Amino acid sequence: MLAKYNPGVIICLRKLTICLGLVFLAFSGFGQEFLFKRNRQKQSIPFKCIKNLMVIPVYVNGKGPFDFVLDTGVGPMIITDPSIIDSLNFSQLRKITVSGLGIETIEAYVSQSLDVKVGSASIERIPTAILKEDLFNLSGHLGLKIYGLLGFSFFNSFIVDVRYSESRLIIYDRNAKIKYRGMKIPIEIENQKPYITGNVELPDGKLANARFLMDTGASHAISLEMFQGGEFPVPEKKIKANLGMSLSGQIKGYVGRVNKLSLGNYVFNKVVAGFPDFKTIAEKINLSKRNGNLGADLLRKFDIQFNYGEGFIYAKPNGSSKMPFEHDMVGMVVYLDQKEYKRVLIGEIDENSPAEKAGLCPDDEIIAVNFKSIDAYSLNELSEMFKSKADRNLIFEIFRDNQVYFKVVRLEKRI
């Protein structure tokens, strides 16, 4: 369940990678849900929006708050840092193996002994997958400590009003009377995940009807994975890129633009899209039920009311809806070191990108940008800077092999 489209899409094929189909089967038949106390009908909960992802405070077994990603792309709750659970004895938990992209298997553990609280709503014995260690380094890629992912159990318990424009959620009891806003669009809940259909313009100008996983835990706008049983047609203008990071391997592919994408009556033009290598994906993931994945770079252009129980959303465009889609103009991933979460390091670098041309290298440590200490920037601010304006120069001060170097990167609109 993890991935990255350069700096922005660090979390999409994460859901493809760990996939949790096996975990879903392990928990099938359990119907726990979050409940308000004292007949409460609604609550507002602020969230941090980091690289388009929603990060909310969660209490586990009375401890916290811990930062979790609120993620429609996962079924059971996932804990990536088991240190938050007291006296956890892995030998007493059921062990499963999960296959992933770039790996054979990983070990995970299933639990139904955890009680979780979000705001005033709580759930007992929530179905949970626990990893023995944070193999995803979500914290390093988002710039703050992340302890897990919360998905289906939360969205299925409420009517969830995601107000990206205000960085807050309003959760309603499912029997509450609420005022819906925007356009009603049907969704389907399958294997604890929401799917939506839309139309995509192919490179030859024809329109294709496509089914997408709605994925608030993916930073990108759209990933196009399968079409008529094979790879999705790739536009002529494209760039090679490291589209995703599985648990132990990169996912290669292309980034290009889709001329037109429509959801209901809403139409978006020149949408930045990822086209992962079909063979790599198809070997590990069942693509028969979907053509791709809609991520938060597109979803955040709406304020969205999710109603899993009745199978629809209401979507209302917000102030971000008219902003153009932009791709990273540097061509590299940056992340925090996994020990102290202080040093900013360079990860993958795209072939023939401005970063490569400037002589930046993987594992370089960035100590300043434009003569300002790296401590003055969040990873979110760096991500926005990297796609800010074509032909802008950024001066990187880096530390490599016990020496300091200055590298000038000229931002380039590559697609």
Q: Where exactly are the structural domains of the chain?
A: 13-173, 183-317, 332-410
The architecture that CATH gives domain 332-410 is Roll (2.30)
Q: How far apart are CA 222 and CA 59, in angstroms?
A: 32
Q: Looking at the domain 13-173, which fold is it?
A: Cathepsin D, subunit A; domain 1 (2.40.70)
Q: Do 353 and 387 form a contact (C-beta atoms < 8 A)?
A: no
pLDDT tens digit sequence for 315-371: 999 999 999 999 999 999 999 988 888 899 999 898 899 999 999 999 999 999 999
Give CA torsion, residues 126, 127, 133, 134, to 10 deg: -80
pLDDT given for residue 1 in this prediction: 33
pLDDT given for residue 296 in this prediction: 96
Q: How does DSSP assign 131-196, residue by residue?
A: -SS-SS-HHHHHTS---EEE-HHHHTTEEEEEETTTTEEEEEETTS-----SEEEE-EEETTEEEE
CATH 3.40.50.2020 assigned to domain 183-317? The reply is: no
Q: How many CB atoms lie within 10 A of CB 300?
A: 23
What's this model's pTM, rounded to 2 decimal places?
0.89
Matching CATH topology for 13-173 and 183-317?
yes
pLDDT given for residue 6 in this prediction: 38
Q: How many CB atoms lie within 10 A of CB 133?
A: 11
**Nearest-CA neighbor of 352 among 239, 236, 235?**
239
Residues 6+ apart with CB under 8 A from 34: 116, 118, 121, 122, 123, 153, 154, 157, 158
Low-confidence stretches of the chain (pLDDT < 70) are 1-31, 87-88, 90, 97-106, 135-136, 244-250, 284
pLDDT given for residue 14 in this prediction: 41
pLDDT given for residue 2 in this prediction: 34
Place of tokens 């007291």: 86
**Nearest-CA neighbor of 239 among 16, 1, 5?**
5
Place of tokens 């059971």: 76
pLDDT given for residue 29 in this prediction: 45
**Chain centre distance of CA 10:** 6
- H or E element, residue 94: strand 94-98
